[in-house]
Structure 1
Amino acid sequence: MTAPVVPADVRAAGARTVELMLEFFEDELDGPPTLGEFLEILNFSTPSGRGLPRSLRLRATVKGGRRYVMNRASRVADLNDAVFVEAAELLVSLVDSRLSNGGQELTGGGLASALLQVVHESGVSFADLPAGEVVALDADKSRTIRAVAGDVVAVPGRNGGYHLGVVIMRSRFGTAIGFLRGTSAVPRLDSSSHRQPRVRPLYTDDRAIADGTWPIVGHDEDLRALFPDQPEIYHAPGQPWSPVDLGEFGSAESPSGTLRPITRQEADEVGLLANGFSQTYPSEHLQELLDKTL
């Protein structure tokens, strides 16, 4: 499929938004963003519900045909929400323009191509190179993302915003994630983020992280330390499948397989004796739980 051609009015409006994004960045951090920081902001601001991956994973090719690599530490985590709001509006304007052939919505690659036209229209200069030296943008779909302990993930909320959680460990129960109270307007961790545990760690699968639906937005060992480092799962008493006595009020099982009986108070605190108790959720259902417990 040929690259979409962005209409002149959309391209001009998008260029003004790019200029505004750079102004916000420069006002907050005393200098324009690098190309890598600019792409990182766009990656975190991908609109949902439009057939696009949660994170575009944009990559750039620059003059001379070489793959762009940022040569300094990112400052994106220090920004406030305004620049991300502008980035999201830019992406939404391009997606809603139905720029691809046949009037279909843009794919990840098509959106990257449209963005390149807007960047060229803007004529801005990034901290490490001018816009004119960016010869191609594409969306990397080949990489399967694998989270490690301490990575912070952003789960999109039903009514906007993101539920932030830290990966605690991977075990035979699944991937344990400890979620924080409240939501974040944009998918990133910053100094204003709530740093209090919301509920006990939950176990889920890796699918939403692997395909970019839940982007990894940071790494923070201090957040991981807020939760147990070996999250247990709970078993209600009297389970017919269990070869051992689970106790009067149930038991907790560690990832290594150690069982311990729990008290009535602990069973009540975790909701073990309530109907519908669960501690492991498919990733596609976990958002619903987080929205309900907000």
Structure 2
Amino acid sequence: MSGDDVKSKLVAIVSEFSEMTGSLPSLKEFLQLLEWSADGIYSTPLAFEVTLVDGSVYSGPEDSKVPELDDSIFSDAADILAGLFDEGNGVGGSPSELAAILLSFINSGMATLVDLSDGGVSRLSIESAGNAVRPEPGDILAVPSVDGWRAVIVVARNRFGVALGIFRDRFDSLDSVNPRHATAYRFPVYSDDAQVLNGSWEIINHEEGLLSAFPAEPEIYHLPNSVWPGQNFGEFGAAEDPSGNIRLIDADEARAVGIVSGSYRQSYTSDFLQQSLRNFTDCKH
């Protein structure tokens, strides 16, 4: 597969994203899609770091539509990455070669990303997580917060991301983090495992018995006014499970999850979630 072939396939991915969401992806969403699709293809998880032409490190918008995407786009992106990784094709076998292809694509103008113009990126690197271990369902994570430490449990991994169950209790030190008798927020949140892979959050235990406090396959919620081709999200909104099944919700559930107050988020980046833990409230979760 030539470099031009790869770029053509990536253009198709951007188009597929636009058709699913009704908008072009940001660079952050495009790279996040590839990161999630790479699971199981490379020996260790991949994380992108982008430097813009003005020398600043790109962070992108807080919100991401990647957790809303159908499985098909992840499968299509995984096929591209798997094709690059195959030995003997002469293209993109290593992370550094993949980074070079993506940098050329992003700066070529073919990407049509919503937040970058041609030539806006000076450097794109892919940092391997090395020997870091991906957290699995049942793993207890210790998360530092401005007011102490919080306990989080990995509930599930699916197309929406990493579902995290959050406990209300605050702990004074890392050694004291133990959610065994803590009260959990009702609704898990979807995030990523970047803060675990970079060492900011620690896996301190594995307690599958605590998973019973949360749904096995947490849903995401859609606002009643969401624009989604061919879908009606009802008067109060709708919930979608990881298999793509959608059910309409009533006013009480919309209020409980935070749709009515406007506090609900479909997903958090792990660094933003860490910053937000102090302000979690019952009306959100």
Q: Report the TM-score, using the length of structure 1 for normalisation.
A: 0.49
2:256 maps to 269
Aligned residues: 153
Which amino acid in the other structure matches residue 151 of structure 1?
D
Does residue 1:252 correspond to 2:239, yes or no? yes
1:163-214 Cα distance to aligned partner (Å, 9 max, x none):
1011001111110010111112222576675421124101101100111111
Secondary structure at 1:212 match in 2 = coil
Secondary structure at 1:196 match in 2 = coil
1:156 maps to 144
Q: 1:212 to 1:261 in 2, by over 3 A?
A: same
Which amino acid in the other structure matches residue 262 of structure 1?
I
Does residue 1:240 correspond to 2:227, yes or no? yes
Q: 1:192 to 1:266 in 2, by over 3 A?
A: closer
The gaps in structure 1 that reach 5 residues or longer are 1-140
Alpha-carbon distance between aligned partners in 1 of 2:150 and 2:222, rounded to the nearest angstrom: 27
Q: 1:251 to 1:242 in 2, by over 3 A?
A: farther
**Percent identical residues:** 37
- Cα contact 2:150–2:177 (8 A) shared by 1: no
Shift of 1:223: 1.0
- Cα contact 2:142–2:177 (8 A) shared by 1: no
1:143 maps to 131
- Cα contact 1:154–1:188 (8 A) shared by 2: no
Q: 1:208 to 1:192 in 2, by over 3 A?
A: closer
2:71 maps to none
Shift of 1:277: 2.5
Shift of 1:142: 3.7
- Cα contact 2:169–2:182 (8 A) shared by 1: no
Secondary structure at 2:174 match in 1 = coil
Secondary structure at 2:276 match in 1 = helix
- Cα contact 1:149–1:167 (8 A) shared by 2: yes
- Cα contact 2:142–2:152 (8 A) shared by 1: yes
From 153, 159, 167, give the equivalent of 1:172. 159
Q: 1:174 to 1:191 in 2, by over 3 A?
A: closer
Alpha-carbon distance between aligned partners in 1 of 2:168 and 2:270, rounded to the nearest angstrom: 19
- Cα contact 1:150–1:166 (8 A) shared by 2: yes
Q: 1:288 to 1:191 in 2, by over 3 A?
A: closer
- Cα contact 1:181–1:194 (8 A) shared by 2: no
Which amino acid in the other structure matches residue 134 of structure 2?
R
1:185 maps to 172
- Cα contact 1:188–1:218 (8 A) shared by 2: no
Alpha-carbon distance between aligned partners in 2 of 1:189 and 1:148, rounded to the nearest angstrom: 22
Alpha-carbon distance between aligned partners in 1 of 2:175 and 2:231, rounded to the nearest angstrom: 44
Alpha-carbon distance between aligned partners in 2 of 1:275 and 1:236, rounded to the nearest angstrom: 9
- Cα contact 1:151–1:218 (8 A) shared by 2: yes
Shift of 1:236: 0.7
Q: Decide which structure has the larger Cα Rg and report it.
A: 1
Alpha-carbon distance between aligned partners in 2 of 1:244 and 1:192, rounded to the nearest angstrom: 39
2:275 maps to 288
Alpha-carbon distance between aligned partners in 1 of 2:214 and 2:228, rounded to the nearest angstrom: 29
1:237-262 Cα distance to aligned partner (Å, 9 max, x none):
12123421111111000011110010
From 206, 217, 235, give the equivalent of 2:204. 217
Alpha-carbon distance between aligned partners in 2 of 1:283 and 1:192, rounded to the nearest angstrom: 20
